[in-house]
């Protein structure tokens, strides 16, 4: 679950774009809105507007196509099998007891008695003098304004002009001894000693199933899609012809009552996951782990995230989740978001979950004997091990948005969204140059042909420059203009978003040309 910024390679140059600019464009152009905005919103929940919905759908479709539908050649040079599943969000609560989520899916939480704010203890740091008895100031790691407030507080309290680098140090909040915590001023507080002791807070949303308010009728909204796959493992084996090694993939909503949702959609309370549980013989864990890790890393590049903004980070032993302790490894594929730069934030985790989940459900459900898989090829009975590449669809969409945002003062829009054509919400804009001489009719005919396969827009309003600017902000890779030569020579002018260069094409050639230039989602 770690998404702490890490930097084990030299950070490339920080791009000149801010989250404020990206969030403003998302709202203005209908990529992402605050959920329930007219009622003041609700913290940790986000809606996708028309453009954002297409973008996220393109990401999920590309993942599904590349993971489940297309041929994928594994580490042994053979095509591998991955089949799909679509499970419920609410499951029998016993699932979450067996998986360890009821007992252990929690984050340490600290409350402020003065401001009623709540913080993740492991996200708080404390700045102050090293000597015992000194007054200390807490702020959320990475929050520059919080850090500035802490420095101001120290200088005012100690009557100094600046910090003393030898005495004033930053420490993680959990490492500050309990008796010194009474001297801490909370991030939003004015008084000392108002932060409570950290206590564990379970992240699962509880919900009542049925009409009767009985403790036995409560269940949870799933915090990961993975468990639906594990409890259906035998059903899939029995109903299909898959054999180990094979994978089960699922895309769906997950819910976590995050203590401090933040950074736009990055840490939300409702989000979507794209998860693969890949079942293997235990002896092959290292091979499959490395293969999935590397393939997933290159996949993100194939849909437009540049390698300069991506890194693979192998987990330290003490970071490993409960199910991965004895495994071949766990790594995060991380993206350098504007709010983590020069560090990185987690986009996807690839973990060797061992046989933890299948074994736990076999024991808890009492189906131990049946659950052990009999491998005919090996003539062996065993619990398969699992390699799990688990990606966030919302974090992936956010990374695509951050990557695409390209300031360009020379354009009327001042910015364009440089999406990989396969991800672009709108593939082409079709514009009659003027609203007469038969141009709108030719444009509409082309529009109707192209929309059979692609999301395209027909726009006959305003100047051609304004229409280009709208499409630049939407990230549309191609604009196709019907001009006077469309009438005489049956050609159109195609304008390329990134270079702004134009080329002539025969009208009849446009559908095949667009298919070829959009890549593999047709
Ligand atoms: N089944 C394994 C699992 O759930 P995880 O690292 O907790 O592992 C997987 O979550 C992915 O789900 C993360 O890499 C991230 O992309 C996404 N994710 C997790 N918590 C999230 C949140 N609060 N908001 C948005 N995305 C989240």
Mean residue pLDDT across the chain: 92
- Closest atom of ligand 1 relative to the 223 alpha carbon: 4
Closest C-alpha residue for ligand 1 atom 7: 1
- Whether the pLDDT of residue 325 is over 90: the answer is no
User: How far does the centroid of ligand 1 lie from the alpha carbon of residue 254, in Å?
Assistant: 9
User: How far does the centroid of ligand 1 lie from the alpha carbon of residue 280, in Å?
Assistant: 23
Closest C-alpha residue for ligand 1 atom 18: 392
At 513, which helix (H) or strand (E)? helix 510-518
Tokens describing residue 372: 């052990």
Closest C-alpha residue for ligand 1 atom 16: 392
pLDDT at 131: 85
Question: For residue range 5-59, what is the model confidence (pLDDT) as tens digits?
Answer: 344 455 444 447 899 999 999 999 999 999 999 999 999 999 999 999 999 999 9
Task: Give per-residue burial for 14-47: e unless 16+ CB within 10 Å, then b.
Answer: ebebebeebbebbeebbbbebbeeeeeeeebebe
Closest C-alpha residue for ligand 1 atom 20: 267
Is 351 within 8 Å of 390 (Cβ atoms)?
yes
Q: Which of 277, 313, 347, 390 to mutate to test the pocket of ligand 1 (most atoms within 8 A of CB)?
A: 390
User: How far does the centroid of ligand 1 lie from the alpha carbon of residue 392, in Å?
Assistant: 6
Where does ligand 1 bind, in terms of residues with CB under 6 Å?
1, 224, 226, 256, 258, 267-268, 271, 273, 275, 346-349, 388, 390-392, 394-395
Pairing state between β 184-185 and 136-140: parallel
Closest C-alpha residue for ligand 1 atom 23: 267
- Whether the pLDDT of residue 178 is over 90: the answer is no
User: 317 vs 339, which has greater pLDDT?
Assistant: 339
Closest C-alpha residue for ligand 1 atom 5: 1
User: Using CA atoms, how far apart are residues 240 and 417, in angstroms rounded to an integer?
Assistant: 43
pLDDT at 12: 46
Indicate the pLDDT class of residue 104, thresholds 50, 70 and 90: confident
- Closest atom of ligand 1 relative to the 392 alpha carbon: 16
Sheet (strand 270-280) strand order: 81-84, 246-255, 270-280, 385-392, 345-354, 330-335, 310-314
**Helix and strand totals (H; E) in the chain:** 15, 27
User: Using CA atoms, how far apart are residues 238 and 313, in angstroms rounded to an integer?
Assistant: 37
User: Using CA atoms, how far apart are residues 352 and 258, in angstroms rounded to an integer?
Assistant: 25
Question: For residue range 448-493, what is the model confidence (pLDDT) as tens digits?
Answer: 999 999 999 999 999 999 999 999 999 999 999 999 999 999 999 9
Q: What is the CA radius of gyration of the chain?
A: 27
**DSSP per-residue string spanning 412-425:** TTSEEE---TTT-S
Indicate the pLDDT class of residue 132, thresholds 50, 70 and 90: confident
User: How far does the centroid of ligand 1 lie from the alpha carbon of residue 1, in Å?
Assistant: 7
- Distance from the Cα of residue 18 to its chain's centroid: 18
- Closest atom of ligand 1 relative to the 261 alpha carbon: 23
Q: Which of 261, 271, 293, 344 to mutate to test the pocket of ligand 1 (most atoms within 8 A of CB)?
A: 271
pLDDT at 522: 39
Closest C-alpha residue for ligand 1 atom 15: 392
The length of the chain in residues reads 522
Q: Which of 349, 356, 402 to mutate to test the pocket of ligand 1 (most atoms within 8 A of CB)?
A: 349
pLDDT at 144: 87
Angle made by CA atoms 471, 473, 478, in degrees to the nearest 5: 35
User: How far does the centroid of ligand 1 lie from the alpha carbon of residue 448, in Å?
Assistant: 40
Closest C-alpha residue for ligand 1 atom 25: 267
pLDDT at 14: 41
pLDDT at 397: 98
- Closest atom of ligand 1 relative to the 390 alpha carbon: 9
pLDDT at 102: 93
pLDDT at 521: 43
User: Using CA atoms, how far apart are residues 504 and 452, in angstroms rounded to an integer?
Assistant: 23
- Whether the pLDDT of residue 390 is over 80: the answer is yes
Query: Torsions phi, psi of 374, nearest 5?
Result: -100, 115
User: Using CA atoms, how far apart are residues 97 and 305, in angstroms rounded to an integer?
Assistant: 38
Indicate the pLDDT class of residue 323, thresholds 50, 70 and 90: low
Question: For residue range 391-416, what is the model confidence (pLDDT) as tens digits?
Answer: 999 999 999 999 999 999 999 999 99
Distances (CA, A) of 516 to 113, 272, 446, 496, 506: 60, 30, 17, 14, 15
Indicate the pLDDT class of residue 320, thresholds 50, 70 and 90: low
387-394 mean pLDDT: 98
- Whether the pLDDT of residue 368 is over 70: the answer is yes
Question: For residue range 485-513, what is the model confidence (pLDDT) as tens digits?
Answer: 999 999 999 999 999 999 999 999 999 99
User: How far does the centroid of ligand 1 lie from the alpha carbon of residue 513, in Å?
Assistant: 38
172-198 mean pLDDT: 92
- Closest atom of ligand 1 relative to the 226 alpha carbon: 1
- Closest atom of ligand 1 relative to the 267 alpha carbon: 24
Query: Percentage of residues in the chain with pLDDT exceeding 90?
Result: 84
198-225 mean pLDDT: 94
User: How far does the centroid of ligand 1 lie from the alpha carbon of residue 407, in Å?
Assistant: 30
pLDDT at 327: 67
- Closest atom of ligand 1 relative to the 271 alpha carbon: 25
User: Using CA atoms, how far apart are residues 340 and 11, in angstroms rounded to an integer?
Assistant: 11
Closest C-alpha residue for ligand 1 atom 12: 392
338-354 mean pLDDT: 95
pLDDT at 329: 87
User: Using CA atoms, how far apart are residues 360 and 226, in angstroms rounded to an integer?
Assistant: 14
- Closest atom of ligand 1 relative to the 333 alpha carbon: 14
Is the omega angle on the peptide bond into residue 84 within 30 degrees of 0, that is, cis? Answer: no
User: How far does the centroid of ligand 1 lie from the alpha carbon of residue 350, in Å?
Assistant: 11
User: How far does the centroid of ligand 1 lie from the alpha carbon of residue 46, in Å?
Assistant: 16
- Closest atom of ligand 1 relative to the 395 alpha carbon: 16
Closest C-alpha residue for ligand 1 atom 9: 390
User: How far does the centroid of ligand 1 lie from the alpha carbon of residue 251, in Å?
Assistant: 12
């Amino acid at each position: 679950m770690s998404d702490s910024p890490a930097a084990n390679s030299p950070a490339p140059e920080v791009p000149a774009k801010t989250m404020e600019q990206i969030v403003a464009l998302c709202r203005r152009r209908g990529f992402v809105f605050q959920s329930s905005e007219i009622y003041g919103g609700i913290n940790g929940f986000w809606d996708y507007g028309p453009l954002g919905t297409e973008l996220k759908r393109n990401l999920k479709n590309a993942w599904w196509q590349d993971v489940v539908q297309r041929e994928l050649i594994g580490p042994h040079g053979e095509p591998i099998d991955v089949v799909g599943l679509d499970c419920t969000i609410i499951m029998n609560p016993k699932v979450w007891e067996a998986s360890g989520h009821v007992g252990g899916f929690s984050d340490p939480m600290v409350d402020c008695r003065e401001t009623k704010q709540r913080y993740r203890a492991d996200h708080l740091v404390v700045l102050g003098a090293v000597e015992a008895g000194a007054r200390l100031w807490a702020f959320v790691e990475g929050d520059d304004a919080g850090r500035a407030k802490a420095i101001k507080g120290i200088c005012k309290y100690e009557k100094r002009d600046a910090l003393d680098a030898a005495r004033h140090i930053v420490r993680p909040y959990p490492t500050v001894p309990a008796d010194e915590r009474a001297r801490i001023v909370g991030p939003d507080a004015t008084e000392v000693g108002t932060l409570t002791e950290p206590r564990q807070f379970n992240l699962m949303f509880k919900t009542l199933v049925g009409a009767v308010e009985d403790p036995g009728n409560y269940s949870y909204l799933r915090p990961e899609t993975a468990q639906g796959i594990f409890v259906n493992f035998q059903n899939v084996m029995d109903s299909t012809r898959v054999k180990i090694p094979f994978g089960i993939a699922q895309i769906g909503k997950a819910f976590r009552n995050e203590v401090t949702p933040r950074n736009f959609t990055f840490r939300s309370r409702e989000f979507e996951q794209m998860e693969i549980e890949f079942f293997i013989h235990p002896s092959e864990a290292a091979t499959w782990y490395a293969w999935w890790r590397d393939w997933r890393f290159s996949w993100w590049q194939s849909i437009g995230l540049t390698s300069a903004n991506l890194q693979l980070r192998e987990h330290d032993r003490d970071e490993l989740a409960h199910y991965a302790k004895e495994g071949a490894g766990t790594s995060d594929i991380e993206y350098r978001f504007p709010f983590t730069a020069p560090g990185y934030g987690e986009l996807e985790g690839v973990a060797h979950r061992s046989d933890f989940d299948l074994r736990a459900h076999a024991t808890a459900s009492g189906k131990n004997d049946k659950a052990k898989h009999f491998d005919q090829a090996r003539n062996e009975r065993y619990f398969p091990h699992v390699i799990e590449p688990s990606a966030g669809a919302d974090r992936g969409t956010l990374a695509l948005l951050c990557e695409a945002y390209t300031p360009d003062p020379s354009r009327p829009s001042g910015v364009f969204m440089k999406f990989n054509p396969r991800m672009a919400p709108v593939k082409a804009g079709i514009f009659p140059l003027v609203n007469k001489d038969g141009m709108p009719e030719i444009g509409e005919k082309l529009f109707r042909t192209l929309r059979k396969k692609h999301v395209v827009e027909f726009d006959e309003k305003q100047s051609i420059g304004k229409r280009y600017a709208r499409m630049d902000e939407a990230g549309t890779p191609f604009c196709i203009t019907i001009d006077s030569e469309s009438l005489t020579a049956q050609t159109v002018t195609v304008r390329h978003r990134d270079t702004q260069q134009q080329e002539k094409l025969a009208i009849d050639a446009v559908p095949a040309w667009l298919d070829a230039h959009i890549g593999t989602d047709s």
